[in-house]
Amino acid sequence: DVKVTQSSRYLVKRTGEKVFLECVQDMDHENMFWYRQDPGLGLRLIYFSYDVKMKEKGDIPEGYSVSREKKERFSLILESASTNQTSMYLCASTTQGPPYEQYFGPGTRLTVT
Amino acid sequence: DQQVKQNSPSLSVQEGRISILNCDYTNSMFDYFLWYKKYPAEGPTFLISISSIKDKNEDGRFTVFLNKSAKHLSLHIVPSQPGDSAVYFCAASARGSGNTPLVFGKGTRLSVIA
């Protein structure tokens, strides 16, 4: 079974703090993704990566950066956390070929106060 | 501009009856469609998918129908069970366009009432 793990289930940070969200997958997937989920807005893509050291902006990259130094690990960084970044953050991974299903981690509920 | 639309934010169904969740898309390049189910405080889990070369795919109580001419797909759950209560996301992919991310709809919250 594919396993995608995220470093924290719940996180509370203060405005202005630098926040690191870590994601690790154990199935040698090339592609990894970061989403945020907010009520009424669905899943919005922040950044994705097709290979080590590669990154692509998604639909809402502002205020975020990412790092992929190893194939299995994809980190999301909030350079200076703000209250509007309070959200559920979801990491996902998939292969580049079939099957095309993305496998999601359990999510990190981040609250910025 | 939303390429994948789920126009019903919520749906309530009696236990044992059929649940029908709908999804519309605008991008004619989409050739692979998926449904995900999400419980609160958990990540989405893959439910069922369909390729554009098919018009129906069935897996147990779940069936997905695709109408390419109408750019519409639907997920049928028969019979509905209380454990099906969750948010359902429709997603689409343009595999023929290379390595592109899935595009998700905003989700439909299904409540199955016992």
Would you list which residues of chain A are within 8 Å, Cβ to Cβ, of chain B? 4, 9, 31, 33, 35, 37, 40-43, 45, 48, 50, 58, 90, 92, 96, 99-107, 109
pLDDT beneath 70: ranges in chain A: 1-2, 98-99
pLDDT at B97 over 70: no
pLDDT at A110: 97
What proportion of chain B, given as a percentage, has pLDDT over 90? 85
pLDDT grade for B101, boundaries at 50, 70 and 90 = confident
pLDDT at A39: 87
Chain B contact probe: residue of A5, A102, A103 with most B CBs at under 10 A: A102
Range of the domain at B47: 4-113
Residue B104 contacts residue A92 (beta carbons within 8 Å): no
pLDDT at B94: 86
| Structural domains in chain B (count) | 1
Residue B35 contacts residue B58 (beta carbons within 8 Å): no
Q: Assign residue A86 the CATH number of its domain.
A: 2.60.40.10
DSSP 8-state code for residue A106: -
CA atoms within 13 A on the CB side of A90: 23
> CB within 8 A of A44, min separation 6: which ones?
A35, A36, A37, A38, A58, A59, A60
Residue B38 contacts residue B89 (beta carbons within 8 Å): yes
**Nearest CA among A30, A25, A34, A19 for reference residue A73:** A25
Phi-psi region of A42 (alpha: psi -120 to 50; beta: other; left: phi over 0): left
Would you list which residues of chain B are within 8 Å, Cβ to Cβ, of chain A? 6, 9, 32, 34, 36, 38, 41-46, 49, 89, 91, 93, 95, 99, 101-102, 104-107
Range of the domain at A103: 4-112
DSSP H or E segment with residue B19:
strand B19-25
Q: Which residue of B43, B46, B105 is in closest CB contact with A42?
A: B105
| Structural domains in chain A (count) | 1
Per-residue pLDDT of B7-50, as tens digits, reads: 999 999 999 999 999 999 999 999 999 999 999 888 999 999 99
> CB within 8 A of A63, min separation 6: which ones?
A78, A79, A80, A82, A85
> CB within 8 A of B17, min separation 6: which ones?
B79, B80
pLDDT at B5: 96
Q: Which residue of A42, A96, A109 is in closest CB contact with B104?
A: A42
